[in-house]
Structure 1
Amino acid sequence: MTNPASQAPGLRIERHESAGSTNTLAFERARAGDPGNLWIRADRQTTGRGRLGRSWSSPKGNLSASLLLIDPQPRERIGELPLVAAVALADALDKAAGTFGLAKLKWPNDLLVDGAKLSGILLEAEHLSNGKTAVVLGIGVNCVAHPQDGLYPCTDLAALGYRVSADLLFDRLCEALKERLASWREPGGFSVIRRDWIARAAHKGQHITVKGPRELTGRFLDLDERGYLVLELENGGKETIYAGDVFLPGFEH
């Protein structure tokens, strides 16, 4: 059943008791002609996807949701969306938990608390037969449970002592992401997102290793104007990183 999102007028919500992947359902709706601004939630997700083809399954009590957008911005700007979503999710978490700056952001879009991963965000896009582009933001948050065998140390809100239900966090996320998307669409809007992302950045100024098409180690210097990570290498040069996984030196991966 699809209902209006009471906390964010203009958005609709489709909720399922169980689903394989909320991102997959969102693309099915897009191919069937849905106009977008549609959230799809599942109380339990069994075959969800993470970045770089990894799995992201989520038990009942955690948050699993995907937002379908149709042509949200010119295609060259779609890559900015994971950072928009990360800042919005960090905003929503503070509002739901009654905290200030609880989560740090690990490039490009993971939320960390005390160095452990709390959430994942997956951006996927598909060109539709009508010439439009369907963009789906999949968001998963560990509210009551977390995986024990991930690439990084993980945590959940309950383990941290925060009683934040998936329903409450989702309501706050609807509000926060709608506001951040509106800001992003304004002229120069991504500069505001970039500023707020950097204010929450984990590891800025520290030496990190980025594993992608090749592995590089250097000091996390900045984000460029498009949201890509800028590393300062040992030889004094700079390298712009477009995709990859960030690790602290010495972390086995």
Structure 2
Amino acid sequence: MTRDHLERPAPGAPDFLFEDLDSVGSTNALCFERARAGHGGNLWIRAAEQTEGRGRRGRDWSSPVGNLFASLLLIDPKPAERIGELPLVAAVALADAVDKAAGTLHLVQLKWPNDLLVDGAKLSGILLEAEILADGRQAVVIGFGVNCISHPPLAMYQATDLRSLGFQVSAERMFEALASSFSVHLGTWREPGGFQQTRKNWLDRAAHLGKEISVKTAREEISGIFADLDAHGHLVLKQDDGGVRTLYAGDVFFPGD
């Protein structure tokens, strides 16, 4: 399991701690273990390989060596009432990190809430989970998976990786860019009104903005025009009858998916 058990300042983000490991079940799960053991947070854990990686809604996430698998542990992130905005903060930070690592400009588009797409194919996955600890603190863990050198066949989506796109980006380089970018975007989010800058950055990369999409929620499937994000990052869907629906969770599908 261990490559380097010792915590040290994260490359690119010295205000955060960092553990670098060979193989783990799940970096998200390990972050929660650290939190339950009393860790103070601001901890990145990166693994060369995951054996039990998972995505949103409990889906498996393929985790072969060479791709990036990293999770960030935050304890009681403030402002607490806006924690639901963090998936979009993470998406914007990762999109910027991809550009920094690959030397590109707006290579990726964003699919609500936090998928990164290149020409419609999925490049990464982001999974945010939260837990109230026994001592009353809230642990928030944000997991990132980036296809640097390979990608799995996905039943629901097309997928791609940076090497297939012509970019030679190691997992180590990708992580350094991500740690640095996330530190900056988290700082912006923490400022009064800071999410509005995140929202603007997200919309600048939005896939299918102004076009028809479908959203599958736990109860129904809704179609309409992707009109906007509201002030907290929820998806605003304009329907054929002129009505507007604001959606707080769901899987987005584009025509042809």
Aligned twin of 2:81: 76
- Per-residue CA deviations over 1:75-133 (Å, capped at 9, x if unaligned) read 43111001001000011111111110000000000000011000000000000111110
CA RMSD of aligned residues (A): 0.9
Aligned twin of 1:152: 157
Aligned twin of 2:230: 224
- Per-residue CA deviations over 1:24-55 (Å, capped at 9, x if unaligned) read 00000000000000001110111111001111
Q: In percent, how many aligned pairs have the same letter?
A: 63
Q: Is 1:56–2:61 an aligned residue pair?
A: yes
Instruction: Measure how far apart 1:204 and its partner are.
Output: 0.3
Q: Mind listing any 5+ residue stretches in structure 1 that lack a counterpart?
A: none
Q: Is 1:102–2:102 an aligned residue pair?
A: no
* 2:11 and 2:179 in contact (8 A); partners too: no
State the alpha-carbon separation in 2 of the partners of residues 248 and 98 from structure 1.
Answer: 28
Q: Mind listing any 5+ residue stretches in structure 2 that lack a counterpart?
A: none
- Per-residue CA deviations over 1:125-161 (Å, capped at 9, x if unaligned) read 0001111100000000000111113311000001111
Aligned twin of 2:138: 133
Aligned twin of 1:67: 72
Aligned twin of 1:89: 94
Aligned twin of 1:204: 209
The one-letter code sitting in structure 2 at the alignment partner of 1:53 is: G
Deviates more, 1:35-44 or 1:141-150: 141-150
The TM-score with structure 2 as length reference comes to 0.96
The TM-score with structure 1 as length reference comes to 0.97
State the alpha-carbon separation in 1 of the partners of residues 12 and 192 from structure 2.
Answer: 26
Q: How many residues align?
A: 251
Moved over 6 A (4+): none
* 2:130 and 2:139 in contact (8 A); partners too: yes
Q: Is 1:34–2:22 an aligned residue pair?
A: no
